[in-house]
Amino acid sequence: MVSAADAPATPRYDPDPMSLRTQGAPPFEVVVFDCDSTLSRIEGIEDLARGHADEVRALTDQAMRGEVPLEEVYGRRLELIRPRAEDLARVAERYREEALPRAEETVRALLSLGKQVRVVSGGLLPCVRPFAEGLGIDPELVFAVDAKTAPDGSWLDFDRASPLARAGGKLDLLRSWGDLGPLALVGDGATDLEAAPACARFIAFTAVAHRPTVADAADAVCSGPGLDALLPLLLTAEELASLDTPS
C-alpha cells in the first residue's frame, strides 16, 4: 500500500500542499473513473482503428490535449473505422487484458467502504460496460457512448445525442446527476479536466498518459503504477486503515 505521504499531490490554486481546498478532501461518496488510459492502458478507439491507426491516433491526441473539440473528431474517427460487432467485443476484451495493475482490487476496496463507483467514458458503451462490469462496477453506473450494429454485425451508428461524444459533455453529465454527495473524479485527459468543476477533487492519473496541461490543473496527481496508488488520495486515513488489503 502506498502511504499518503508517498502520493504526489498538486493543489490547483496554490503551491502549498496544505492549502488543498477543504471540499477537496476525502471522504467522498462517489468515485468516478475515466476508462481509456485510466482503468485500462489502451485507448479503445485506437485499438478499433487498425488500418486507420495513425490518422485516428492523431485525431485522438489533438482532442485529449484540448487542441480541437472532441465532437470534431468523434464522428470522423468512427466513419473511418466502421467497427463491426465482433470488433467491439474484441476491444472489450483488450480493455480487460490491459487493465491497470490492481484495478479490480481497488474497485473492491472502494465498494467495501460504501463508495459508489461510476465510469464516465467517451469510449463506446459495448466495449466499456463489459470491462467495467468485470471489475465489479454496477453496469447501470457505466456511462459511455452507445453504438448500434446491424443483426449481421455491420456498423450502423453511434449515439450522436450522447453528451460524451462532445467537448464539455462529462461536465454536463456529472451535473445532470444532481447532488450525490462529494465526488472524486480520476482521469488523464482534457475531457476529464473539463468536468473538474463538478467534483470535490479531480485527480490526474498519469501512469499511462502524462498530459502536462491536465496534471498542472488537477487538484492532485497520481502516477501509479497500479490503480491502488489512488487510494490515499480517495480515502481518509481512517478509511485507509480499515482496509485489510495486503500490498
Beta strands in the chain (DSSP E): 30-33, 116-124, 142-145, 147-149, 155-158, 183-187, 201-205, 220-222
Among 24, 26, 123, 189, binds Mg ion (CB under 5 A): 189
Considering the complex, what minimum distance in angstroms separates the CB of residue 37 from Mg ion?
A: 4
- Closer by beta carbon to Mg ion, 80 or else 209: 209
d(CA 155, CA 200): 39
CB atoms within 10 A of CB 25: 14
List 7, 20, 32, 37, residue binding Mg ion (CB under 5 A): 37
- Closest to 95 (Cα-Cα) out of 135, 125, 131, 59: 131
- Closest approach, Cβ 41 to Mg ion, in A, equals 10
Tell me which of 24, 28, 30, 36 binds Mg ion, using CB under 5 A: 36
* Nearer CB in complex with Mg ion: 121/149: 121
188 binds Mg ion (CB under 5 A): yes
**70 vs 176: CA distance, rounded Å:** 20
Shortest distance in whole angstroms from residue 188 CB to Mg ion: 4
Least Å from the CB of residue 63 to Mg ion: 10
Task: Report whether 103 contacts 43 (CB < 8 A).
Answer: no
44 lies in the binding site for Mg ion (CB under 5 A): no
Give the residue numbers annotated as catalytic, written as ranges.
34, 36
Binding region for Mg ion (CB under 5 A) out of 35-43, 106-114, 143-151, 223-231: 35-43
Is position 47 an interface residue for Mg ion (rule: CB under 5 A)? no
Amino acid at 196: A
What is the total count of residues that contact Mg ion (CB under 5 A)?
5
What is the Cα–Cα distance from 3 to 107, expressed in whole angstroms?
18
Identify which range of 34-42, 45-53, 173-181, 227-235 contacts Mg ion by CB under 5 A. 34-42
Q: Which of 34, 46, 87, 228: binder of Mg ion (CB under 5 A)?
A: 34
- Contact string 147-186 vs Mg ion (x = CB under 5 A): ----------------------------------------
Beta bridge partners of 220: 203
Q: How far is the CB of 237 from Mg ion (least distance, A)?
A: 29
What's the CA gap between 3 and 201, in Å, rounded? 18
Strand partners, 222: 205
Closest CA to 214 of 194, 186, 193, 198: 193
Q: Residue 179: how many CB atoms within 10 A of its CB?
A: 7
Residues near Mg ion (CB under 5 A) are 34, 36-37, 188-189
